[in-house]
């Protein structure tokens, strides 16, 4: 487990290679302490795993989440889009997106304190199992813009996402006309 400063050092080291930075210059290349706390408050990143006194402790999953967020932002995605894509993502998905070197994932010699409470919010979102006895299907969010997200079963491809966004344009126009979409500008 790492303190927030130790976590941010690892995020910086992980992004040192093959990271072009944000395309618009409005987003920090590496999140600061305040951004990490805000990400945790909004659910973009899991809350700290444990506390040692007043010091929050973070672990491997937090590192994967933060690096994945920055890599997706570097592709021009908004935080709303990133949040929709990462909602319910498991560690394997996060690792594929983040591409963090293995040596940075090593927790070190510090003993891991027990989590404060179970991490039920980290479980993937699944549709109710049909009465036929088939297994439940994981749902994935497709960001449509303006804060609108559509949930689809399975994992959509890039082509699927583009087709869904095009088909949803009349719905987005209606939501915008009624003032039901959020402002696209978000803090970094």
Domains of the chain: 4-121 (1.10.1660), 125-177 (no CATH)
- Is residue 149 exposed (0-12), middle (13-18) or buried (19+ Cβ within 10 Å)? middle
Confidence of residue 188 (pLDDT cuts 50, 70, 90): very low
120-163 pLDDT, tens digit each? 666 666 655 566 656 566 788 888 888 888 988 888 888 988 89
């Amino acid at each position: 487990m790492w303190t927030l400063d130790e976590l941010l050092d690892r995020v910086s080291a992980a992004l040192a290679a093959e990271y072009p930075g944000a395309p618009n210059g409005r987003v920090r290349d590496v999140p600061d302490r305040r951004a990490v706390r805000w990400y945790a408050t909004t659910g973009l990143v899991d809350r700290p795993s444990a506390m040692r006194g007043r010091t929050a402790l973070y672990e491997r999953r937090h590192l994967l989440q933060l690096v994945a967020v920055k890599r997706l932002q570097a592709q021009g995605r908004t935080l709303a889009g990133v949040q929709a894509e990462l909602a319910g993502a498991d560690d394997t998905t996060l690792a594929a997106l983040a591409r963090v070197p293995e040596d940075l994932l090593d927790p070190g010699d510090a003993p891991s304190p027990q989590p404060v409470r179970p991490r039920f919010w980290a479980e993937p979102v699944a549709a109710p199992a049909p009465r036929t006895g088939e297994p439940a299907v994981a749902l994935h969010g497709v960001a449509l813009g303006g804060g609108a997200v559509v949930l689809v079963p399975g994992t959509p491809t890039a082509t699927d996402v583009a087709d869904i966004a095009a088909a949803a344009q009349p719905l987005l126009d209606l939501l915008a006309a009624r003032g039901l979409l959020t402002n696209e500008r978000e803090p970094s």
